Chain A
Amino acid sequence: MSRLELRAIRKTYGKAERETLKGIDIDINSGEFLILVGPSGCGKSTLMNAIAGLEDISQGAIVIDGTDVTTLEPRDRDIAMVFQSYALYPTMTVRENIAFGLRIRRQPKEEIDQEVQRVAKLLQIEPLLDRKPSQLSGGQQQRVAMGRALARRPKIYLFDEPLSNLDAKLRVEMRTEIKRLHRRLRTTIVYVTHDQIEAMTLADRIAVMKDGELQQLGTPKEVYETPANLFVASFIGSPAMNFIPVTVQKGDRGLHAMVKSDSGETIDLPLPLALSAYENKEIILGVRPEHITQIQAHKEGQPLVARGRLTIEVTEPTGPDVIALVNINGIPVHCRIDPDHPVDPGDVAELMFDMSKTSYFDPATEQRITL
């Protein structure tokens, strides 16, 4: 249980012209589950390797529990890591894999045996202890890899895309298991993934990265509901947030924006008064699919709710919802419709826009407009 501070971390590789990390500042509280998420090449793995001490940084400091570890070797940082490829030692049994770090640290044999038993019980891998990694399934290897990390009781755990080699069903199971383990052990975890659903479901806080820069750091709810910029808004959420460029206009009942359906009908979308600074200017509406739905009676008459008739182009039933594709201002827009209100491709359906949860972005800076 330890606090990890990343202070203004910069990294430039040898002859590269561009920086891989452009000043990352994150404070990770003791016992916190932080997820680093971003597209490939965003620098999240480099940052993780830097925390582990496997790669040097060009500038900045890494501080664990108040001690600057920036120049320390990996073994002296007291960090354990779970790798995407599991990286189990192929010639050793599961027991030897888990015990390896303890043996290197010359702990007494009885203590090592006890620790191996504790970890094996925790992860339910006791029957596998005398097998070689090649005799295990992917999920079992994953458990052993976690066991190896848990055995040393290090200060900080790093997970580098640990679930991406598992099949879909197992991935969901292990996700729950990791969350349960974290609730039970309350350890400090930094977890790298490119899967935004993993990020949303596991994290206490999410750090969204792009091109070596931290885009937003916040709870899953904050990142989902109030994304800091267009990138975060598009990266988090599936199907992604819809972006509709509009011009803010002043009308009798306050601010509004006019959009056109594919059949040329005009839909009048109400906007909050706080946007008055943007009157007659262009902004980008960020509307999540679940805020464009079938008509919901209980929302009728609320201030930021509008209706519009739109042609359904494609429907994708997911089970709990039907994702329908429509066209607004010539831009494809996803809506989330209750399967009890059947719609078919080609239908013209009356849909409800709930603008109270909409995000607004400045088209020039691509940043969120705070109201």
Chain B
Amino acid sequence: MTEMVRKPFSFNRVLIYTVLLTAAAVYLVPLVVMLLTSFKTLGDISSGNLMALPTHWTMHAWHKAWSTACTGVSCEGVHHFFWNSFKMAIPAVLISTGIGAFNGYVFSKWRFRGSDLIFSMMLFGCFIPFQVILLPMAATLGKMGLANTTAGLVVVHVTYGVAFTTLFFRNYYVGVPDALVKAARLDGAGFFTIFFRIMLPMSVPIFMVCIIWQFTQIWNDFLFGVVFASGDSQPITVGLNNLVNTGTGVKEYNVNMAAALIAALPTLVVYVLAGKYFIRGLTAGSVKG
């Protein structure tokens, strides 16, 4: 570091920082505009500049978005949708990650005849567009009696997510030396003991990757939410859409912005809390014994 400080202030360095700062600014401007707008009054918005600070800071729009704004016929804000999303995302993330860990363990450490073929077929699941499965999935959920329920949404997201989580865990476990499994077998450990006592404890980084990835995917999903859920099971993305599109007369931009920020907050929090694991987990090639 000391060497860096002593380096002369070069043209290249100025250029690099200029480009980086510009890029950062470009990406941050929308967020800043949203934040500023959400704290303004409607009058402030219509009279002032987009980038200007609020003349009068107010939480009114946040309150309204949370508890009284109209989303379709009801006027209770987005808080129901917000909790719906949690009820859907948390089980779906945990179940799909758990199944992915187990699949990855089998595909990497207990290969059987045809296991590579099955793994390739599972990978195929990563490339199936959402729209393709809408009708068959609706029929399936109907037969299972899960149509229009949160449990139904969980089933859809788990089914879709398992392809990704299996891929993540399988690739992570491929880097774990086979000798560890052999040693554990000689020590007397069985299939499940090895999974729970040896493999899972060393999987924290890839768990973080999976949880962030799955949570972001599931939380942000709109299509499945709007198709497979109705009324009191709809997730926040659908709620936000309803809020923005329900409106008679004046567009309440401040309320829309606050609702959008509420919808985006959980994924941001998850990334801030677990982000360092995300980079670490993605770059970790193998576990040194």
The answer to whether B188 and A75 touch across the interface, beta carbons within 8 angstroms, is yes
What's the nearest-Cβ distance from chain B to residue A313, in Å? Answer: 45
User: Among the listed B180, B185, B198, B201, which residue makes an inter-chain contact with A75, where contact means beta carbons less than 8 Å apart?
Assistant: B185
The answer to whether B180 and A81 touch across the interface, beta carbons within 8 angstroms, is no
User: Among the listed B177, B180, B182, B188, which residue makes an inter-chain contact with A105, where contact means beta carbons less than 8 Å apart?
Assistant: B188
Which secondary structure dominates chain B's binding surface? helix
Q: Tell me whether A278 is interfacial, beta carbon within 8 Å.
A: no
Assembled-state Cα–Cα distance A75/B188 (Å): 4
The answer to whether A100 and B186 touch across the interface, beta carbons within 8 angstroms, is no
The answer to whether B179 and A79 touch across the interface, beta carbons within 8 angstroms, is no
Known: A86-B289, A134-B288. A54 touches B184 (CB 8 A): no
Assembled-state Cα–Cα distance A74/B181 (Å): 12
Instruction: Find chain B residues with CB under 8 A from A148 CB.
Output: 183, 187
What's the nearest-Cβ distance from chain B to residue A191, in Å? Answer: 16
Instruction: Find chain A residues with CB under 8 A from B185 CB.
Output: 53-54, 73-75
Type the 1/0 row for A81-114, where 1 means its CB is closer than 8 Å to any CB of B: 1011111111110000000110011000000000
Known: A133-B289, A134-B288. A87 touches B182 (CB 8 A): yes
Assembled-state Cα–Cα distance A50/B109 (Å): 18
Assembled-state Cα–Cα distance A101/B193 (Å): 11
The answer to whether B186 and A90 touch across the interface, beta carbons within 8 angstroms, is no
Assembled-state Cα–Cα distance A141/B184 (Å): 16
Instruction: Find chain B residues with CB under 8 A from A89 CB.
Output: 180, 183-184, 198, 289
What's the nearest-Cβ distance from chain B to residue A104, in Å? Answer: 4
The answer to whether A83 and B179 touch across the interface, beta carbons within 8 angstroms, is yes
Chain B residues 66 to 119 lying within 8 A of chain A, measured CB to CB, are none
What's the nearest-Cβ distance from chain B to residue A350, in Å? Answer: 55
What's the nearest-Cβ distance from chain B to residue A83, in Å? Answer: 4
User: Among the listed A88, A91, A104, which residue makes an inter-chain contact with B201, where contact means beta carbons less than 8 Å apart?
Assistant: A91
Q: Tell me whether A52 is interfacial, beta carbon within 8 Å.
A: yes
Known: A104-B193, A133-B289, A134-B288. A87 touches B188 (CB 8 A): no
Instruction: Find chain A residues with CB under 8 A from B186 CB.
Output: 52, 54, 74-75, 79-81, 101
Q: Which residue of A has the minimal Cβ distance to B183?
A: A87
Q: Tell me whether B122 is interfacial, beta carbon within 8 Å.
A: no
Assembled-state Cα–Cα distance A29/B188 (Å): 25
Known: A85-B177, A85-B179. A101 touches B288 (CB 8 A): no
Q: Which residue of A has the minimal Cβ distance to B190?
A: A75
User: Among the listed B182, B184, B188, B288, which residue makes an inter-chain contact with A90, where contact means beta carbons less than 8 Å apart?
Assistant: B288
The answer to whether A87 and B187 touch across the interface, beta carbons within 8 angstroms, is no
Q: Tell me whether B35 is interfacial, beta carbon within 8 Å.
A: no
Q: Which residue of A has the minimal Cβ distance to B176?
A: A90
Assembled-state Cα–Cα distance A83/B186 (Å): 11
Instruction: Find chain B residues with CB under 8 A from A84 CB.
Output: 179
Instruction: Find chain A residues with CB under 8 A from B180 CB.
Output: 87, 89
Q: Tell me whether B202 is interfacial, beta carbon within 8 Å.
A: yes
Instruction: Find chain A residues with CB under 8 A from B193 CB.
Output: 104
The answer to whether A52 and B182 touch across the interface, beta carbons within 8 angstroms, is yes
Type the 1/0 row for B185-199, where 1 means its CB is closer than 8 Å to any CB of A: 111111001000110
What's the nearest-Cβ distance from chain A to residue B78, in Å? Answer: 42
The answer to whether A87 and B189 touch across the interface, beta carbons within 8 angstroms, is no
Known: A89-B198, A91-B201. A81 touches B289 (CB 8 A): no
The answer to whether B202 and A101 touch across the interface, beta carbons within 8 angstroms, is no
Can you list 5 A-B pairs, Cβ within 8 angstroms, ordered by A? A54-B186, A88-B289, A91-B198, A100-B189, A105-B188
Top 5 closest pairs, chain A to chain B, by CB: A101-B187, A87-B179, A91-B201, A75-B188, A87-B183
Binding site for A on B (CB under 8 A): 177, 179-180, 182-190, 193, 197-198, 201-202, 287-289
Extra contacts besides A87-B180, A87-B182 (6): CB < 8 Å: A52-B182, A75-B187, A80-B186, A87-B289, A91-B201, A100-B189
